[in-house]
């Protein structure tokens, strides 16, 4: 069984950290974590961090459950509350995933990146600076520290 962390200690920047293959139940718990972020009714950024190839694999039924969750209003909440979503994948998995389009799938600014630093560079270059003004001044270092602890 994999490990999944949802962290909002750096709010309005939320993190998900996945390690190894997640079970269907863990995925459903993840959707509930997203619901709790949506319940805040505040705009936020998300960094999703996948630590290994197995963490990118989906258990049977995950796709269908996610589509159902999205159709029950999560899709609207994504577009209205999530300012950006960066997905960090292992560097060896990046070539096969780099053409996946976060904006096309979720309707929000985002991307898939092989490193956290590349995601940071994209965020600072692609999102209006006013959209980052609500982040804590040392948010980059705090995120790196959180990833080391997980």
Strands 13-19 and 3-10: antiparallel
Query: CA 49, CA 28: separation in Å to the nearest integer?
Result: 18
Is the preceding omega at residue 12 within 30 degrees of 0, hence cis? Answer: yes
- Per-residue confidence at 91, pLDDT binned at 50, 70, 90? very high
Whether residue 2 contacts residue 22, with contact meaning beta carbons closer than 8 Å, is answered with yes
pLDDT exceeds cutoff 70 at 69: yes
- Residue 68 Cα distances to 25, 31, 65, 149, angstroms: 15, 11, 5, 33
pLDDT exceeds cutoff 70 at 137: no
CATH number of 3-149: 3.30.750.24
- What does the domain layout of the chain look like in residue ranges? 3-149
Query: CA 143, CA 16: separation in Å to the nearest integer?
Result: 11
- Per-residue confidence at 133, pLDDT binned at 50, 70, 90? low
Mean pLDDT of 90-98: 96
Position 147 scores a pLDDT of 73
- Residue 27 Cα distances to 6, 10, 118, 128, 149, angstroms: 11, 22, 26, 32, 22
Give pTM, 2 decimals. 0.87
Task: Average the pLDDT over each of 68-82, 108-122, 129-143 and give the range with the smallest value.
Answer: 129-143
């Amino acid at each position: 069984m994999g490990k999944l962390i949802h962290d909002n200690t750096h709010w309005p920047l939320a993190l998900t950290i996945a390690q190894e293959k997640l079970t269907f139940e863990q995925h459903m718990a993840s959707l509930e974590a997203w619901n709790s972020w949506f319940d805040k009714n505040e705009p936020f950024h998300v960094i999703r961090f996948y630590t290994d190839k197995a963490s990118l694999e989906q258990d049977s039924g995950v796709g269908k459950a996610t589509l159902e969750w999205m159709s029950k209003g999560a899709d609207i909440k994504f577009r209205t509350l999530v300012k950006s979503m960066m997905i960090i994948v292992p560097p060896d998995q990046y070539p096969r995933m780099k053409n996946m389009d976060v904006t096309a799938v979720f309707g929000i600014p985002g991307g898939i990146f092989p490193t956290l630093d590349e995601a940071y560079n994209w965020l600072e270059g692609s999102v209006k600076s006013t959209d980052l003004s609500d982040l804590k001044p040392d948010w980059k270092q705090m995120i790196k520290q959180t990833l080391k602890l997980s």
